Structure 1
Amino acid sequence: MLCKLKNLYMDDINTFGGRFKAFRKSRKLTGEDVGGKMRVLKTQISMIEHNKAMPPMEKMIEFAMLFPDLDLNWLLRGSGDMLVIEEQDKVDCWPLLEEEQEKLKVEKEKLEHVREKLRAEREKTEKLEELLIRHGVKTR
């Protein structure tokens, strides 16, 4: 698998930064994408990939949690394969979570729209009630 990766991405996978970059590219992610997921700047990702910096341990743990199929032994030491496959039918949950998050965002926007309509209707009702009271009509 390592030869395949080297040919596919032409990165130096003999270094931590090279393996980090090879993994990122294998997921078709940009440095900005990975930075966003790890909550660091794109420039920090670039420094890691160019072996000018190492991520702090807490960021490595975050990264491992984001990509549970990444073999950390491969990433840190270059030993073994890039990916750990425990089950043939293992599902990548991130696309599903992102899809659900998008659905929730749409529902939130719909609810906000309904809320605005209700607020406008309440204002109309209050004005109508004031008008009726001014003309001597009991409202309750």
Structure 2
Amino acid sequence: MTDLNTFGGRLRAYRKSKKLKGEDFAAVLRVKKAQVAMIEHNASRTPAEKLTALATAFPDLDLNWLLTGKGEMLLDPGQEKLRALLQSAQEELGAAKQALQAARRELQTAEQELVSVKLALQSEQGELQSAKRELRSVKQALEKEQEKLQAVRERLDGERNKSEALEELLRKNRIAVPKHRGAGPGG
């Protein structure tokens, strides 16, 4: 006779009601036959994932009865439908959790890419600012060189005016003007 006051005894009673051997039950639970025997003799506890495997493999088994001894061994058909709906909802929840985790990973990847783009943009802005400073510096140097060039032109114009005035004065006084080497065409 089986002791229905323990989890192991209730599990054994259910297995026998299904006319399953220990090795058949072990295959369903994906454990060794020895572990089924240990559980049925209350020498080992059943891992939670094995309870899920039991509920999936044997939808007529009332897990509340198996765990507590309260109620009946077998669920009525309405409870089986309810359990099936619950299991379906749990599967959908699991799928939704996986989709949420995938979306979180995508979001993290997008955030990392955004940070990379932001850093690259900041770097580009820094380079642009540096180029603008260099351009201003070159522009200022060019303006100084233009001012120097203008001063040289003004001095040159002044010297040319003096030279022309001197040549004019020499011509008026009829003094011969020597020709400069390399000055002007043919010289």
Rg comparison, structure with higher value:
2
Shift of 1:55: 1.3
- Which structure 2 residue ranges, 5 or more long, are not aligned? 82-187
Alignment of 1:5-84 (within 5 A): 10-84=1-75
- Counting aligned pairs with the same residue, the percent is 57
Structure 2 residue matching 1:19: 3-state secondary structure: helix
1:70-102: per-residue Cα shift (whole Å, max 9, x none)? 001100000000000125xx9xxxxxxxxxxxx
Give the TM-score normalised by the residue count of structure 2.
Answer: 0.41
Aligned partners of 1:64 and 1:53: how far apart in 2?
Answer: 19
Structure 1 or 2: larger helix share? 2
Runs of 4+ in structure 1 deviating by more than 6 angstroms, as ranges, are: none
Structure 2 residue matching 1:74: 3-state secondary structure: helix
Shift of 1:37: 1.0
1:7-49: per-residue Cα shift (whole Å, max 9, x none)? xxx2001000000000000000011000011110000000000
1:89-130: per-residue Cα shift (whole Å, max 9, x none)? x9xxxxxxxxxxxxxxxxxxxxxxxxxxxxxxxxxxxxxxxx
Give the TM-score normalised by the residue count of structure 1.
Answer: 0.55
Which residue does the alignment assign to 2:86? none
Q: Which has the higher contact order (CA 8 A, sep 6+)?
A: 1
In angstroms, what is the RMSD of aligned CA positions?
1.2
Aligned partners of 2:73 and 2:21: how far apart in 1?
Answer: 18
1:39-64: per-residue Cα shift (whole Å, max 9, x none)? 10000000000000111101110111
Aligned partners of 2:66 and 2:72: how far apart in 1?
Answer: 9
Alignment of 1:101-120 (within 5 A): none
Structure 1 residue matching 2:51: 3-state secondary structure: helix
